[in-house]
Amino acid sequence: MAKKADASPSFEESMAQLEKIVEEIASGSIGLEESLARYEQGMQLVQKCKAVLERAEKRIEQLTAQGSSLVAQPLEAPEPHAVDATP
């Protein structure tokens, strides 16, 4: 299955990007301004990943047993999360 060019990164891709950001900041190889920009980007990724995990948790909770099979109940539309990028 091909990805759309404008599709947002997957959870796994976001986590890999977040790990890279953490390594760059921790290494001290980038300056203060770049570290701040990467920190802000990292916090946005954290919020995105957290939202994905929350939706997955809700979906798991909504699985109900019916006879010998599991049926997923439809999820309500997710609430938009405001990203507060202020340190």
Beta bridge partners of 6: none
Q: Give residue 1's pLDDT band: very low, low, confident or very high (50, 70, 90).
A: very low
- Both tokens assigned to 11: 């959870």
- Both tokens assigned to 78: 């997710």
50-87: per-residue pLDDT in tens? 999 999 888 877 775 555 566 666 656 555 555 555 44
CB atoms within 10 A of CB 46: 15
11-56: per-residue pLDDT in tens? 999 999 999 999 999 999 999 999 999 999 999 999 999 999 999 8
Taking the complete model, does pTM exceed 0.85, yes or no?
Answer: no
Domain ranges for the chain = 11-59
